[in-house]
């Protein structure tokens, strides 16, 4: 989805990727080869977590080099080559894509298409940054939406009814028709409001200010406690049905 939004790139992970799923010793899905991009994300996710934690506990930074997986590092050249080929293919389809993407805003229709190595390299770097930057928020919000549906069965029931009343078959589901579903749009907005689209706790350095009645000295790093917000008893925000109804109407 992130690649599609960035430059209409199809990775076909659901079609081609095969993920092992073992339940009671039985393999439900045959194991197959995943893309180099997925291998890179999987291999560096723990390392990325350590880098984020090192901002809070600097001593952890010394451990980061120990968790650089060689397999993931070997995938980097393949990821760059695939991205370069995808960008060139996207440039050839200017004005012919199924929908608008970020590439339409990166390349003005009033100027010649990038053709030199320097121009192509610049576009490739920006597009890849848009791709990677959009990957985490999209997956986090997707998981958050599933989490809230399980946490609030009443909301899940209302949303299920709205969708099933609007569509009789999967072929009827289109982006244009989904936009018209008021409760679905309200649910998405509430999920974006309640759940941070970042896994890092959003660290901030205090300039010397009062936060919730508590003075935080200048230079102190502030972090959000995501686990406590969604799982501990201190969480009282939730996804109130009343807010959803007000959005939907």
The per-residue pLDDT for range 75-84, each reduced to its tens digit, is: 778 888 888 8
Q: What are phi and psi of 176, to 5 degrees?
A: -60, -40
Distance CA 72, CA 48 (A): 13
* Short-list 117, 121, 133, 150, CA closest to 197: 133
Mean pLDDT of 30-39: 62
Contact 203, 222 (CB under 8 A): yes
Q: What is the DSSP string of 170-202?
A: GGG--HHHHHT-HHHHHHHHHHHHHS-S-SS--
- The H-assigned helical ranges of the chain are 2-7, 13-16, 36-54, 70-92, 103-106, 117-151, 153-166, 175-179, 182-194, 226-231, 241-248
Mean pLDDT of 219-248: 59
- The whole-number pLDDT of residue 240 equals 57
User: Is the pLDDT assigned to residue 61 strictly greater than 60?
Assistant: yes
Distance CA 215, CA 210 (A): 4
- The whole-number pLDDT of residue 239 equals 58
Mean pLDDT of the chain: 76
């Amino acid at each position: 989805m992130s690649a599609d939004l960035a430059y209409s790139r199809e990775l076909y992970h659901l079609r081609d990727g095969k993920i092992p799923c073992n339940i009671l010793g039985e393999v439900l899905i045959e194991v197959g080869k995943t893309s180099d991009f997925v291998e890179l994300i999987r291999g560096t996710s723990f390392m990325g977590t350590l880098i984020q934690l090192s901002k809070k506990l600097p001593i952890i930074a010394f451990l980061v080099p120990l968790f650089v997986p060689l397999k993931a590092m070997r995938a980097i050249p393949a990821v760059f080559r695939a991205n370069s080929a995808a960008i060139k293919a996207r440039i050839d389809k200017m004005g012919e894509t199924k929908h608008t993407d970020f590439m339409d805003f990166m390349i003005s229709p009033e100027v010649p298409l990038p053709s030199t190595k320097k121009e192509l390299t610049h576009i490739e770097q920006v597009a890849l940054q848009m791709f990677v930057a959009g990957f985490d928020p999209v997956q986090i919000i997707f998981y958050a939406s599933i989490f809230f549906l399980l946490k609030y069965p009443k909301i899940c029931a209302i949303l299920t009814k709205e969708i099933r009343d609007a569509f009789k078959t999967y072929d009827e589901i289109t982006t244009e028709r989904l936009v018209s579903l008021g409760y679905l749009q309200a649910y998405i907005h509430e999920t974006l409001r309640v759940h941070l689209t970042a896994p890092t706790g959003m660290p901030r350095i205090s300039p010397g200010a009062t936060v919730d009645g508590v003075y935080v000295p200048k230079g102190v790093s502030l972090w959000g406690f995501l686990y406590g917000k969604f799982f501990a008893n201190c969480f009282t925000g939730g996804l109130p049905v009343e807010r959803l109804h007000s959005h939907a109407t």
